[in-house]
Chains A and B, each alone.
Chain A
Amino acid sequence: MNHPTDISQYRGEKTASVSASAEFNRPLLLTPGEDLRGYLVGHGGRIFLFLMTCISVLSVLLIFIFVIREALPFLREQGLRDSITSRNWYPERAEGAGAEFGMLALFAGSMYVTLASLILSVPIGLSAAVFLSDIAPFWLRQVSKPIIEILAAIPSVAYGFFAILVLAPYMQKYWNFDTGANALNASLILSLMALPTIISVAEDSLSAVGREIREASYGLGATRCETMLKVVMPTAHSGIIAAVILGMMRAIGETMVVWMASGNANQIPTPWWDISQSVRTMTATIAGEMGETSQNSVHWHALFMIGVFLLIFTFGLNMISEYFLARVKKSGGK
Chain B
Amino acid sequence: MKKALILSLTILIASSSMTWAQPKILQIDGSTTVGPIGDAFAAEFMKMHPEVAITVKKTGSGDGAAALVDGRCDIAMMSRFMKSEEFKKCVNKPGDTVVFPVAHAIANDGVCVVVHPSNPVAKLTIAQVRDIYTGRITNWNQLGGPNRAIVVISRDTSSGTYETFDGLVMNKEKMAANVEYVNANPQAQARVASTQGAIGYVGLAFLEGVKALTIDGVAPTRQTIAKGTYPISRPLFLFTNGYPKLGSLVHEFCTFYLTERGQEIIEAKGFVPLTVY
Chain A interfacial positions (CB closer than 8 Å to B)? 87-88, 90-93, 95-97, 105, 164-165, 168-169, 172, 178-181, 259-260, 263-267, 277-278, 280, 288-289, 291-295
Residue interface mask B67-96, A partner, CB < 8 A = 1:
000000000000000000110000000000
On chain A, the residues within 8 Å of B148 by CB distance are: 178
Given contacts A97-B174, A294-B62, contact A289 B156 (CB under 8 A): yes
Bound CA–CA A237/B10 (angstroms): 63
Q: Does the CB pair A291–B181 fall under 8 Å?
A: no
On chain A, the residues within 8 Å of B85 by CB distance are: 294
Interface-facing stretch out of B40-48, B100-108, B190-198, B222-230: B190-198
Contact of B180 among A169, A278, A288 (CB under 8 A): A278
Q: Does the CB pair B174–A292 fall under 8 Å?
A: no
The yes or no answer to B63 lying at the interface (CB within 8 A) is yes
Contact of A280 among B60, B181, B194 (CB under 8 A): B181
On chain B, the residues within 8 Å of A288 by CB distance are: 156, 158, 181, 183
Nearest opposing residue in chain B for A179, CB measure: B151
Residue interface mask B142-183, A partner, CB < 8 A = 1:
000000110100001111000000000000111001111111
Bound CA–CA A280/B159 (angstroms): 18
Nearest opposing residue in chain B for A291, CB measure: B60
Contact of B194 among A180, A263, A291, A292 (CB under 8 A): A180
On chain B, the residues within 8 Å of A165 by CB distance are: 190
Q: Does the CB pair A265–B179 fall under 8 Å?
A: yes
Bound CA–CA A87/B65 (angstroms): 31
Q: Does the CB pair B158–A181 fall under 8 Å?
A: no
Q: Does the CB pair A169–B178 fall under 8 Å?
A: no
11 inter-chain pairs at a CB distance below 8 angstroms, sorted by A residue, are A172-B195, A259-B183, A263-B181, A265-B181, A267-B177, A267-B178, A291-B59, A292-B59, A292-B61, A294-B62, A294-B66
Given contacts A172-B194, A292-B63, A295-B66, contact A92 B158 (CB under 8 A): yes
Bound CA–CA A90/B151 (angstroms): 20
Bound CA–CA A267/B152 (angstroms): 13
Chain B interfacial positions (CB closer than 8 Å to A)? 59-63, 65-66, 85-86, 148-149, 151, 156-159, 172-174, 177-183, 187, 190-191, 194-198
On chain B, the residues within 8 Å of A88 by CB distance are: 174, 177
10 extra interchain contacts, Cβ-Cβ under 8 A, other than A264-B156, A289-B157? A88-B177, A96-B173, A172-B195, A178-B148, A178-B151, A181-B191, A289-B156, A291-B60, A292-B158, A294-B86
Q: Does the CB pair B151–A105 fall under 8 Å?
A: no
Q: Does the CB pair B195–A293 fall under 8 Å?
A: no
On chain A, the residues within 8 Å of B66 by CB distance are: 294-295
On chain B, the residues within 8 Å of A105 by CB distance are: 177
Bound CA–CA A265/B176 (angstroms): 9
On chain B, the residues within 8 Å of A96 by CB distance are: 172-174
On chain A, the residues within 8 Å of B187 by CB distance are: 164, 260
| Nearest CB on A from B186, distance (A) | 11
Most A Cβ at <10 Å: residue of B179, B181, B187, B190: B181
Q: Does the CB pair B149–A181 fall under 8 Å?
A: no
Q: Does the CB pair B59–A277 fall under 8 Å?
A: no
Bound CA–CA A91/B197 (angstroms): 28
Nearest opposing residue in chain B for A172, CB measure: B195
On chain A, the residues within 8 Å of B196 by CB distance are: 172
| Nearest CB on A from B141, distance (A) | 14
On chain A, the residues within 8 Å of B59 by CB distance are: 291-292
| Nearest CB on A from B116, distance (A) | 11
Q: Does the CB pair A278–B194 fall under 8 Å?
A: no
| Nearest CB on B from A232, distance (A) | 46
Most B Cβ at <10 Å: residue of A181, A291, A292: A292
Most B Cβ at <10 Å: residue of A164, A172, A179, A295: A179
Q: Does the CB pair B190–A164 fall under 8 Å?
A: yes
| Nearest CB on B from A85, distance (A) | 15
| Nearest CB on A from B89, distance (A) | 9
Bound CA–CA A266/B156 (angstroms): 11
Nearest opposing residue in chain B for A267, CB measure: B177
Given contacts A95-B172, A178-B197, contact A266 B177 (CB under 8 A): yes
Contact of B174 among A90, A180, A278 (CB under 8 A): A90
| Nearest CB on A from B25, distance (A) | 24
Nearest opposing residue in chain B for A266, CB measure: B177
Bound CA–CA A97/B187 (angstroms): 30
Bound CA–CA A164/B174 (angstroms): 27
Bound CA–CA A266/B157 (angstroms): 12
Bound CA–CA A288/B183 (angstroms): 7
Q: Does the CB pair A179–B195 fall under 8 Å?
A: yes
Bound CA–CA A267/B191 (angstroms): 19
On chain B, the residues within 8 Å of A267 by CB distance are: 177-178
> What are the 4 tightest A-B residue pairs by CB atom distance, in nearest-first order?
A292-B158, A292-B60, A264-B181, A267-B177
Most B Cβ at <10 Å: residue of A105, A165, A168, A291: A291
Q: Does the CB pair B159–A292 fall under 8 Å?
A: yes
On chain A, the residues within 8 Å of B180 by CB distance are: 179, 181, 263-265, 278
On chain B, the residues within 8 Å of A280 by CB distance are: 181
Nearest opposing residue in chain B for A260, CB measure: B187
